Amino acid sequence: MNVFKALALCAGLGGLLLSAAYAEGLQGKVIGFSQIGSESGWRAAETSVTKQVAAELGIDLKFADAQQKQENQIKAIRGFIAQGVDAILVAPVVATGWEEVLTEAKEAGIPVVLLDRGIEGPEDLYLTSVASDQVKEGRVAGEWLVGAVGDKQCNVVELQGTVGSSPAINRKQGFEEAIAGKANLTIIRSQTGDFTRSKGKEVMEGFIKAEDGGKNICAVYAHNDDMAVGAIQAIKDAGLKPGSDILVVSIDAVPDIFAAMVAGEANATVELTPNMAGPAFEALDAYLNNGTVPPKFIITESKLYTPADDPQGEYERRKGLGY
């Protein structure tokens, strides 16, 4: 079982690596990685992908789990500096308070790469930051829907993330940008599902009742896959077919949404890639070996997955990553 898992994992990672252009440049390099902790399934996946990518590249990865505390991250970074590592990856838990420790790293000549979150402070404190573009994620989801419905009249209901959180704001904005100007697409209802399955289900139940038993809804757009999974159950409970009676599009690309795609119950998801380390290592490789300074902000790809993209395979590939 474990062997299969490991095999699936390696196969998955092969696919996740965007480029085969890694030189042997990072072979044997020591890189410290200060991770926030394991607050969500996605973060666990990011940790395991980072470790796997590092192993493939022959990097000696020093991993430090900060358990959601900035002081632990600062301690870890100081530890890395003392050990004289070649580079440091940080997924910063908060945006402020990094000037001092990052200046120490800078003075020691150790490049720092930020993963998936930014910090406030002078940009010269870090080499580059790798992150996804949340507005783009929403836009990709919206563009898919625009293409999928064509000229048909389509009423969309939206399941928002936690009120006021940046993914909720940005993913909403991106989606609205994509459907702006399309008269046949309207968001008729929008409520928060708090990024959870149970709230997603409850909110969708309410929407279905309020929109003529769901007959008035043509598509649901969820800010994350978990809410979409809940919504799918609500649609089924109402006697409708998710995926055909009501289209389902969401963001994140967690394993369970691929399981739903296999069952024909979800139509599209936009990946928030857990492979932030891949582009980071690439940039470090170029910097350490050739002195090439990377752009300050590296944006990861927001890839769209539909049932045409081997959902069964994607499910197997992601299952072992810790989502």
Partner 1 sequence: MTRQTVDLRPSTEPPLPRPRPLASLVTRPQVIALAAVLFVNWLLFPGFFTVTWQDGRLFGSLIDVLNRGAPVAILAIGMTMVIATKGVDLSVGAVMAISGAVAAVMVTSGYPAWLAVLAALGAGLVCGLWNGILVTLLEIQPIIATLVLMVAGRGLAQLITEGYIVTFSDPVLIFIGTGSFLGFPMPVVIAFTLMLLATLIVRRTALGLLIEAVGINRSAARFAGLSSGALLLIVYTFAGFCAAVSGLIVAGDIRGADANNAGLWLELDAILAVVIGGTSLMGGRFSIPMAVLGAMIIQAMNTGILISGFSPEFNLVVKSAVIIVILVLQSPLSARLFRRLPGKSQ
Q: Closer CB to partner 1, residue 29 or residue 171? A: 171
Q: Closer CB to partner 1, residue 86 or residue 205? A: 205
Q: Closer CB to partner 1, residue 207 or residue 281? A: 207
Q: How far is the CB of 2 from partner 1 (least distance, A)?
A: 14
CA-to-CA distance for 212 and 292, rounded, in angstroms? Answer: 59
Q: Closer CB to partner 1, residue 210 or residue 298? A: 210
Q: How far is the CB of 50 from partner 1 (least distance, A)?
A: 16
Q: Closer CB to partner 1, residue 29 or residue 319? A: 319
Q: How far is the CB of 242 from partner 1 (least distance, A)?
A: 14
Q: How far is the CB of 256 from partner 1 (least distance, A)?
A: 6
Q: At a CB cut-off of 8 Å and minimum separation 6, what does 199 contact?
A: 192, 193, 227, 230
Question: Which burial class, exposed, middle or buried, applies to 195 when counting CB atoms under 10 A from its CB (0-12, 13-18, 19+)?
Answer: buried
Q: How far is the CB of 226 from partner 1 (least distance, A)?
A: 7
Please choose, from the candidates 80, 140, 65, 157, the residue with its C-alpha nearest in 3D space to the C-alpha of residue 112.
80
What is the phi/psi pair of residue 131, to 5°? Answer: -155, 165
Contact residues for partner 1, defined by CB under 8 A? 38, 40-41, 44, 160, 163, 189-192, 194, 196-198, 201-203, 205-207, 209-210, 213, 226, 229-230, 233, 237-239, 256, 322-323
At position 13, the amino acid (one-letter code) is L
User: What is the dihedral angle through the alpha carbons of 251, 257, 260, 266, rounded to the nearest 10 degrees?
Assistant: 10
To the nearest 10 degrees (0 to 180), the angle between helices 70-83 and 99-107 is 10
Q: How far is the CB of 196 from partner 1 (least distance, A)?
A: 4
Q: Closer CB to partner 1, residue 80 or residue 207? A: 207
CA-to-CA distance for 192 and 10, rounded, in angstroms? Answer: 37
Buried b (16+ CB within 10 A) or exposed e, 210-242: eeeebeebbbbbbbbbbbbbbbbbbbeebebeb
Q: Closer CB to partner 1, residue 38 or residue 70? A: 38
Please choose, from the candidates 291, 274, 281, the residue with its C-alpha nearest in 3D space to the C-alpha of residue 22.
281
Q: How far is the CB of 251 from partner 1 (least distance, A)?
A: 17
Q: Closer CB to partner 1, residue 175 or residue 281? A: 175
Give me the count of residues in the chain.
Answer: 323
Q: How far is the CB of 65 from partner 1 (least distance, A)?
A: 12
